[in-house]
Structure 1
Amino acid sequence: MKKEENIKVGISIGDLNGIGSEIVLKIFEDARMLDFCTPVIFASIKTMSFVKKHYKIDINLNGINHINQAVIGKVNVLNCWKENVNISFGKEDKTIGEYAIKSLQKATKALKSDEIDVLVTAPINKSSIQSDTFKFPGHTDYLNQELEGNSLMFMVNGGLRVGLLTDHVPVKDVSKHITTKLIEDKINTVHDSLIKDFKINKPKIAVLGINPHTGDNGVIGNEDDKILRPALKKIKEKGKLVFGPYAADSFFGSNNYQNFDAIIASYHDQGLIPFKTLSFGQGVNYTAGLNKVRTSPDHGTAFEIAGKGQADIGSFKEAIFTAIKIFNNRNEYAEISKNPLLFSKKKI
Structure 2
Amino acid sequence: MEDSSHKKDHKPVIGISIGDINGVGPEVVIKALNDNRVLKHLTPVIYADGRVISFYRKQLDLQNFNYNQTKSIDKIHHRKVNVINLNEQGVDVTPGKATTEGGNYALISLRRCMEDLKANKIQALVTAPLSKELVQADDFKFPGHTEYLTQEDGAKDSLMFLVAEDLRVGVVTGHIPLKEVSNHVTEELVGRKLELMIKSLKKDFGIKKPRVAVLGLNPHAGENGLLGAEEEKVIIPVINEYKNKGNLVFGPFPADGFFGSTQYTSFDGILAMYHDQGLIPFKNIAFANGVNFTAGLSFIRTSPDHGTAFNIAGKNEADETSMRNAIYTAADIIRNREEFQ
Query: TM-score with structure 2 length normalisation?
Result: 0.95
Change (3 A) 1:190 1:175: same
How does 1:198-347 map onto structure 2 within 5 Å?
198-334=205-341
Question: Hey, what does 1:345 align to over in structure 2?
Answer: none
Task: Please say if 1:37 is aligned against 2:42.
Answer: yes
Any unmatched runs of 5+ in structure 2?
1-5
* Residue 176 of structure 1, CA deviation: 1.0
Question: Hey, what does 1:12 align to over in structure 2?
Answer: 17
Identity of aligned pairs, percent? 50
Task: Please say if 1:55 is aligned against 2:60.
Answer: yes
- The one-letter code of the counterpart of 1:310 is E
Secondary structure at the counterpart of residue 284 of structure 2: helix
Give the aligned length.
334
- Distance in 2, matches of 1:182 and 1:228, equals 10
* Residue 64 of structure 1, CA deviation: 0.5
Question: Hey, what does 2:129 align to over in structure 1?
Answer: 123
- Distance in 2, matches of 1:139 and 1:209, equals 27
* Residue 322 of structure 1, CA deviation: 0.5
- The one-letter code of the counterpart of 2:122 is I
Deviations 1:276-327 (A, max 9, x none): 1111111111111111111001111111110101111111001111100000
Task: Please say if 1:143 is aligned against 2:149.
Answer: yes
Question: Hey, what does 1:106 align to over in structure 2?
Answer: 112
Matching residue within 181, 193, 200 for 1:193: 200
Q: Do the aligned partners of 2:33 and 2:324 also contact (CA within 8 Å) in 1?
A: no
Q: Do the aligned partners of 1:5 and 1:35 also contact (CA within 8 Å) in 2?
A: no
Q: Do the aligned partners of 1:5 and 1:34 also contact (CA within 8 Å) in 2?
A: no
- Distance in 2, matches of 1:20 and 1:175, equals 34
Question: Hey, what does 1:80 align to over in structure 2?
Answer: 86
Deviations 1:21-76 (A, max 9, x none): 01111222212211111111011112212222222222112111110100011111
- The one-letter code of the counterpart of 1:166 is T
Secondary structure at the counterpart of residue 312 of structure 2: coil
- Distance in 1, matches of 2:88 and 2:282, equals 40
Q: How much is the aligned-residue C-alpha RMSD, in angstroms?
A: 1.4
Q: Do the aligned partners of 1:5 and 1:72 also contact (CA within 8 Å) in 2?
A: no
Question: Hey, what does 1:342 align to over in structure 2?
Answer: none
Question: Hey, what does 2:3 align to over in structure 1?
Answer: none
* Residue 4 of structure 1, CA deviation: 6.2
- The one-letter code of the counterpart of 1:224 is E
Q: Do the aligned partners of 1:5 and 1:38 also contact (CA within 8 Å) in 2?
A: no
Matching residue within 182, 185, 200 for 1:175: 182
Change (3 A) 1:82 1:303: closer
Secondary structure at the counterpart of residue 317 of structure 1: helix
Q: Do the aligned partners of 1:46 and 1:84 also contact (CA within 8 Å) in 2?
A: no
Query: TM-score with structure 1 length normalisation?
Result: 0.93
- The one-letter code of the counterpart of 1:53 is K
Task: Please say if 1:26 is aligned against 2:31.
Answer: yes
Q: Do the aligned partners of 1:198 and 1:326 also contact (CA within 8 Å) in 2?
A: yes
Secondary structure at the counterpart of residue 126 of structure 2: strand
Any unmatched runs of 5+ in structure 1?
335-348
Q: Where do 4+ consecutive residues of structure 1 move more than 2 Å? A: 1-6
* Residue 81 of structure 1, CA deviation: 2.4
Secondary structure at the counterpart of residue 252 of structure 1: helix
- The one-letter code of the counterpart of 1:185 is R
